[in-house]
Amino acid sequence: MATRKNSTDDPLAPLTLAVGQEDLLLDRAVQQVVAAARASDPDTDVRDLTSDQLQPGTLAELTSPSLFAERKVVIVRNAQDLSADSVKDVKAYLGDPVEEITLVLLHAGGAKGKGLLDAARKAGAREVACPKTTKPAERLSFVRSEFRALGRSATPEACQALVDAIGSDLRELASAVSQLVADVEGTIDEAVVARYYTGRAEASSFTVADRAVEGRAAEALEALRWSLSTGVAPVLITSALAQGVRAIGKLSSARGGRPADLARELGMPPWKIDRVRQQMRGWTPDGVALALRAVADADAGVKGGGDDPEYALEKAVVAVARAARSGRQR
């Protein structure tokens, strides 16, 4: 989620710097400034420009004093791609900003255009971080924050189910949260998510993995076939299987303790500790080793080492499910 980088929290500060590559968060940073400006003055003039539209001299023209002292928001997207002359114009403006004008710079971060980034920060910009969410835990945190922002409660299992069902697109996740909040009263739980997103949730590679590590072979195979029929990449399924089995192995070898302590030790969120504890019943160290070997073989098979990726996946799912029951058969 977007986060503040300094103590300035006024959307109408002379300069807002939104840094990152997550489009939804960048758009929200812009929307917050525009909404605040229009709340102050409904006639606010908004100019939204791409880097190639901000030619040398354009910024001076847009920020020239007005006879009517109108409020204005000037947005510059992909500021890291500005020409050298346009960067000079922006830096000059930063040294002498115009009252009633808010400049919003959207910058991808990184080395390209770093001089402008540094100059904006030195000028005391209000900064909003908009990093790309690349990790499942980050998407889970995003979903939780969306529910909180809308004043609603959702169980940890519901949040995870929504991430599993929707995937990595933050716009889709935000839209799904909004739909659930609008349509459902009370706490949103896993059953509600399943009811709304049946099919998508079943197609999730993580659903395949969850059923397999729980020893539910028939359900895991059903989820696998659904996944493949709806276009889920086989490599995502082997990755999810590997993550599921490794989590079992990590927790089974960890020292006992509270979920929060184990979460820090193992690098897992506390809710996942509880879920993996339930899934690990019936697992043995030998079972973990056998399952990891089966998943590794399947991974090689789906990456070109075999003639039938679907068979390789089915074989791995069955092997993992059998390993999950190995301790119960003694």
The pLDDT profile of the chain, 330 residues, written as one tens digit per residue, is 444 444 358 899 999 999 999 988 999 999 999 999 999 999 899 999 999 999 999 999 998 876 566 789 999 999 999 999 999 999 999 999 988 899 999 999 989 999 999 999 999 999 999 998 888 888 999 999 999 999 999 999 999 888 877 777 888 889 889 989 988 899 999 888 887 776 554 446 888 898 999 999 998 998 888 778 767 778 888 988 998 899 888 888 775 666 666 666 666 666 677 778 888 888 999 999 999 999 999 988 888 766 788 999 999 999 999 999 876 655
H helices then E strands: how many in the chain? 15, 6
| Cα–Cα distance list, 206 to 108, 191, 220, 256, 325 (Å) | 31, 17, 10, 26, 19
Q: Which residues pair with 48 in a beta bridge?
A: 75
Angle (nearest 5°) at CA 102 between 67 and 1? 160
Cα gap 249→269, rounded to integer Å? 16
Please state the pTM of the whole predicted model. Answer: 0.59
Q: How far is CA 196 from the centre of its chain?
A: 21
Contact 77, 50 (CB under 8 A): yes
Q: Is 73 helix (H, G, I), strand (E, B) or coil?
A: strand
